Amino acid sequence: MIFPNLWIHTPLRGVLTICHQLTKTEIPDLAKCSVLMKERSKVEETIHGMQRAGAGSLHVISDFDMTLTRFAHNGKRVPTTHNILDNRLLINEDCTKKMRELLNTYYPIEIDAGRTVEEKLPLMVEWWTKVHELLIQQRIRRDMLAQAVKESSAMLREGHKVFFDCLAAHQVPLLIFSAGVGDVLEEVIQQNHVFHPNVHIISNYMDFDHTGALRAFKGQLIHTFNKRDGALSQAAHLTELQGRPNVLLLGDSLGDLTMADGVSEPENILTIGFLNDQVEERKESYVNSFDIVLVKDETMDVPNGILRYIISSRDNK
């Protein structure tokens, strides 16, 4: 969705000062002050189980916007894949205005800790459907997408190259499950030179007519809170994931926790949640839901540290 450029800082009220001291030295990144864990022993047990099984039993499932990409940089919001389309090469000023009005209406609902997922579901469908209808009306040109990405301030998180390259080098599948725009997402990864053969993407893809103009969106609509449906219907068909019962799951929304629901006979699932915004309001629900919560952490340090431990320890045996 389209977000305003200015980033309004949310006081942490001491969250970052609560440093968890990890007595073990294998993954020092878990001692960062941005790391919160409700059950440290469970996390360590899960990681050790993944390490014993090795890279051949692992795959990674990740959200994209605000998970693999930064939430903010130098005090300003980093654009999502929908944001990147807010470019005069692609859409006009009236479309931008209408999409921002939709954002102001629906985004507070998406992150409202006081509403249930069931309450949010139909409203998220409304939001995504209205945005996609606006984009279709603009008849966006396929041949302009690369230039729009190039002109944007899209940024993957610090340490992203280590993350993507490590997974590719050890042939660990990376399934990116995004409610954003798949065509834009692919272009972002391509321009960062990390679109390796092990990367698979499930997202909202554009359907262009014979002239290269957007005429529809393909397949089932994917939004923040229906990823479970996509996981069950699409991820199960990826043969690359078969025989890999261990999952490292990355997301920035509670809805992302369902992305591993399509995994057949899972053994170890470790969930990492990026808590980017409204920390005080959402901290409790995130800590109760994700195994590891990263508070306003714009890096891939923790996922990279866990991957290094799982892979290098196995290789050294």
Rg over CA atoms, the chain:
19
Q: What is the DSSP letter of 250?
A: E
Location of structure tokens 């990826």: 238
Nearest to 185 by CA among 163, 162, 215, 152: 152
d(CA 11, CA 44): 30
Location of structure tokens 């409610």: 179
DSSP H helix total and E strand total for the chain = 10, 11
Residues annotated as catalytic are 63, 65
| Alpha-carbon distances of 229 from 131, 183, 233, rounded to whole Å | 21, 21, 6
Location of structure tokens 């249930």: 116
Residue 128 neighbours by CB distance under 10 Å:
22
In contact, 152 and 69? CB cutoff 8 Å: no
Q: Which residues touch 26 (CB under 8 Å, ≥6 apart)?
A: 309, 313
DSSP, collapsed to helix, strand or coil, labels residue 178 as strand
d(CA 126, CA 147): 29
What's the CA angle centered on 129, arms 201 and 254, to 5 degrees?
Answer: 55
